[in-house]
Homo-oligomer: A and B are copies of this chain.
Amino acid sequence: MEETIRRFKAHLAKMHAYEHALGVLYYDAETVMPKAGGEGLGGTVGVLSEESYRLSTAPELREMLKTLLENRAALDDVTRREAEELSENMERMEKIPMEEFVAYQMAQSEASRVWHEAKPANDYAAFEPHLAKLIDYQRRFAGYMRPELPAYDALLDQYEKGLTMQTLDAYFADIRAKLLPVIHAIAKRGRKIDTSFLQKEFPIWKQRQLSDYIMQVMTIDRACCAIGEVEHPFTTGFNKRDIRITTHYHADDLLSSFYSVVHEGGHALYELNTGDDLFCSPLGTGASMGIHESQSRFFENIIGRSEAFLRFVFPKMQELFRAELAGVTPHMLYLAANRSEPSLIRTEADELTYSMHIMVRYELEKKLIAGELSTKELPEAWNALYREYLGIDVPDDTRGVLQDSHWSGGMFGYFPSYSIGSAYASQIYAAMQKDIDVPALVGKGELAPVVDWLTEKIYRFGCMKKPAELIENACGVPFDPTYYTDYLTKKYSEIYGL
């Protein structure tokens, strides 16, 4: 038994090594690789993915897992959960033929490269065949993994266990019913919020200093966390001692990168504070995409867009941008940071209209995966839904269907977790408020108690608990989305004087 555990841990270390290397290759490709480097990258990613796949479906691993799970009671908690996770994963993976998996990885790498060129060029036609290929792979993979489920449910389940179209259809209908009235009220009778003072040139080399400052306020240890620059910001990590966030600086927009850093910083805090006992273990990461997004959106919206936070960071902003922010008060900044208006770009959407963007993607993904919509028809369908849900016309694919990196990364079923994450975040915030006075602490720039609370209730567990368990553990009650609609209704009614 001891020998099996030793061999199992050695096997995990090997699997971790391939994921680590593939992760660094991906991060490097997005941040610093010269463009033509993509030509040689696909082959390398293919070779490493093949070995990674082989390791996670290896007969010797199956045999070790069998021994371990037959002796479940004799295992420590971490080893037991590792064995359970890998066993589930193995079952899923074994159903995908290896050659198809490797071919998919290469197709994905190529699609990503093409998307990087197609987006700025407004060239959906160039990207379309690659997207069609990825959807085809994903649909087939869904069928292999969970033949008993509709394909899109199988994909949703990968990112948030147990999430289904049935739940989401009801969830979005509810949010739409409660939040659309607020959105309409703002359009009709909300006060006008001035954001003109943000339309200036904010030199990027100074914005970089602001990023450093925000990361420091957020208690992010830079010895364990780097920041890179990319087209579409994301966070990745290889273990709790090496996390990478990214941002995109716009010279004419101060708050875009500011909130990217706060958002990605939330993801980073989760990873940085997983338990030491899970270092380099497959369990040493976030429990699910939804829980991960709850943390990024908690920091971005609930903390980062609070008046307390903006009052605290304002002096630093003034120091960096004295001339640009002349005559601006923290309250003006607070209102500007929370202005709500239907818009084109998801990542720059306000907190209130954000879920409408997710709904567009949700409806389209459902149809793409079900084969009810072709990739050729996609831009038109995208534009129609933006008109329907957000009331606006999409002027080009750059700001339309090409705006997100997710689909070029083969991620279908991921978007809904952003919305679910926001709902989790509101509920977590309500629970946290019972223990500590968050606005008072944030107003003094003391985020450590907030991070400590989250570490105690959520972060340290990594994947040791399932999403539903974590929410109940942190909040004392099961998941309840009304915290979300209550929070938004209250916040936006105050801001807009409804």
Binding site for B on A (CB under 8 A): 13-14, 16-18, 20-21, 24-25, 27-28, 31-37, 39-41, 43-44, 46-48, 51, 205, 221-226, 228, 238-239, 241-244, 279-280
User: Is B17 in contact with A224, judged by CB distance below 8 angstroms?
Assistant: no
Residue of B nearest to A49 (CB): B17
Chain A interface mostly: helix
A37 to B239, alpha carbons, bound, how many Å? 8
In the bound complex, do residue B36 and residue A17 qualify as a contact, i.e. CB atoms below 8 Å apart?
Answer: no
Do A36 and B228 touch (CB < 8 A)?
A: no
| Contact indicator B17/A24 (Cβ below 8 Å) | no
Residues of chain B contacted by A18 (CB below 8 angstroms): 47
Given A40-B238, A43-B280, A44-B16: A25 and B21 interface contact (C-beta under 8 Å): yes
- In the complex, what distance in Å separates the CA atom of A410 from the CA atom of B51? 28
Copies of this protein chain in the complex: 2
> Given A40-B238, A43-B16, A242-B40, is A21 in contact with B48 using a C-beta cutoff of 8 Å?
yes
- Do the beta carbons of A17 and B47 come within 8 Å of each other? yes
**When the two chains form the complex, which single residue of B25, B35, B243 contacts A223, counting CB atoms closer than 8 Å?**
B35
Q: Is A238 within 8 A of B37, CB to CB?
A: yes
A39–B241 CB distance below 8 A? yes
Complex: A44 Cα to B18 Cα, angstroms: 7
**Cα distance A224–B37 in the bound complex, in angstroms:** 6
- Contact status A222-B34, CB under 8 Å: yes
- Residues of B within 8 Å of A24, CB to CB, are 21, 24-25, 28
A34 pairs with B280, CB closer than 8 A: no
With A17-B47, A224-B34, A225-B34: A241-B40 Cβ-Cβ less than 8 Å: yes
23 contacts between A and B (CB under 8 A): A13-B43, A13-B47, A14-B47, A16-B43, A16-B44, A17-B47, A18-B47, A20-B40, A20-B41, A21-B24, A31-B32, A32-B228, A33-B242, A34-B223, A34-B225, A34-B241, A35-B224, A36-B223, A36-B224, A39-B241, A40-B241, A40-B279, A40-B280
CA A289 – CA B43 in complex, angstroms? 27
List residues of chain B with CB within 8 A of the CB of A221.
Answer: 36
A211 to chain B, nearest CB (A): 14
Interface pair B205/A37, CB less than 8 Å apart: no
Q: Which residue in B25, B205, B241 is a CB contact (below 8 Å) of A36?
A: B241
A226 to B221, CA, bound (A): 27
Q: A21-B21, A28-B24, A28-B27 are in contact. Are A242 and B16 (CB under 8 A)?
A: no
Partner of A21, one of B31, B44, B228, B280: B44
The verdict on A226 contacting B33 (CB below 8 Å), with A24-B25, A40-B242, A280-B43 known, is yes
Please name the residue on chain B nearest to A14 by beta carbon.
Answer: B47
Residues of chain B within 8 A (CB-CB) of A51 are 51
A40: chain B residues at CB < 8 Å are 20, 238-239, 241-242, 279-280
B36 touches A242 (CB 8 A): yes
Among residues of B, the one whose C-beta sits closest to the C-beta of A10 is B47
- List the B side residues contacting A36 at CB < 8 Å: 221, 223-224, 241-242
Complex-state Cα separation, A27 to B242, whole angstroms: 15
**Least CB distance, A47 to chain B, in whole angstroms:** 4
Cα separation A479 to B136 with both chains bound (whole Å): 60
**Which B-chain residue is minimally distant from A35 (CB atoms)?**
B223
Complex CA distance for A21 and B126, rounded to whole angstroms: 29
CB < 8 Å neighbour of A32 from B32, B37, B46: B32
- Known contacts A24-B25, A24-B28, A25-B24; A242/B34 CB under 8 A: yes
B43 near A17 with CB under 8 A, answer yes
List of B residues within 8 angstroms of A43 by Cβ:
13, 16-17, 280
Q: How far is the CA of A194 from the CA of B238 in the complex (A)?
A: 51
Residues of B with C-beta under 8 A to A241: 34, 36-37, 39-40
Cα distance A1–B324 when bound, in Å?
Answer: 71
- A242 surroundings in chain B (CB, below 8 A): 33-34, 36-37, 39-41
Which of A16, A17, A279 lies at the interface centre, i.e. has the most chain B CB atoms within 10 A of its CB?
A17
Q: Which of A47, A221, A225 has the most CB of B within 10 A?
A: A47
